């Protein structure tokens, strides 16, 4: 059962025309933030989808920003940390995702400065190593091609991909008995 179904109909689903528009907008935003952190642009889009007056939406979001509930910098930092840890994404892929979420470019640049080359290398290596384990029966050139493709789809550069695969190549014969690239 979805979170929305569990909590029953809320102002998002059935807005009361007599209700306070600020209260309705605030409730929509707070419910969305209870589900997961979101950027200001995502919240603006959610309010627009619910036909909230743009002036009301702006004032509600401004107030929630003042009290720290809407914070694109904190959102971007958490997003980068989570996505890099779980999905092993490159800085380029993280940048693209944050841009789609509507985070300001200067915030993105600041947050991604915290992702150093070692972090990006570790994410690429972890992804390739995890994927390589399931490919031990494949021919070395097929395995290399598939791993390179997986890294490229996550936004890693050709140079980093080559480095990771070369280092993985050196480490795999010890990790996977009888397997030589």
Enter the DSSP assignment of 38: -
Determine the pLDDT at residue 3: 52
Q: How far is the C-alpha of 22 from the C-alpha of 53, rounded, in Å? A: 9
**Hey, how many other C-beta atoms are within 10 angstroms of the C-beta on 66?**
9
Beta strand ranges found along the chain (DSSP E): none
Residue 90 burial (CB < 10 Å; 0-12/13-18/19+)?
A: buried
Query: Which tokens sit at 120?
Result: 């990006």
SS3 of 155, please? coil
pTM of the predicted model as reported, rounded to 2 decimal places: 0.72
Instruction: Judge whether 93 and 155 are in contact, CB under 8 Å.
Output: yes
Query: Which tokens sit at 102?
Result: 């509507």
Determine the pLDDT at residue 89: 86
Determine the pLDDT at residue 11: 44
Question: Which pLDDT tens digits describe the chain residue by residue (181 residues)?
Answer: 455 444 444 444 445 666 789 999 999 999 999 999 999 999 999 999 999 999 999 999 999 999 999 999 999 999 998 888 888 888 999 999 999 999 999 999 999 998 888 888 998 999 999 999 899 899 989 999 999 999 999 999 999 999 999 998 887 534 333 344 4
**Hey, how many other C-beta atoms are within 10 angstroms of the C-beta on 78?**
14
Q: Which residues, at least 6 apart from 34, have a Cβ–Cβ distance to it below 8 Å? A: none
Determine the pLDDT at residue 85: 80
Determine the pLDDT at residue 8: 46
């Amino acid at each position: 059962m979805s979170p929305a179904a569990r909590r029953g109909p809320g102002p998002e689903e059935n807005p009361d025309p007599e209700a306070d528009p600020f209260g309705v907008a605030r409730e929509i935003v707070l419910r969305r933030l209870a589900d997961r952190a979101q950027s200001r642009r995502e919240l603006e889009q959610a309010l627009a989808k619910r036909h909230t007056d743009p002036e009301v939406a702006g004032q509600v979001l401004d107030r929630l920003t003042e009290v720290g509930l809407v914070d694109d910098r904190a959102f971007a930092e958490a997003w980068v940390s989570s996505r890099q840890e779980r999905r092993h994404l490159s800085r380029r892929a993280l940048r693209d995702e944050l841009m789609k979420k509507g985070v300001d470019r200067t915030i993105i640049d600041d947050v991604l400065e915290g992702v150093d080359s070692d972090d990006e290398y570790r994410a690429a290596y972890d992804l390739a190593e995890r994927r390589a384990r399931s490919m031990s029966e494949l021919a070395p050139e097929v395995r290399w091609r598939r791993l390179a493709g997986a890294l490229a789809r996550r936004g890693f550069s050709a140079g980093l991909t080559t480095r990771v695969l070369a280092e993985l190549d050196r480490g795999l014969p010890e990790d996977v008995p009888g397997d030589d690239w």
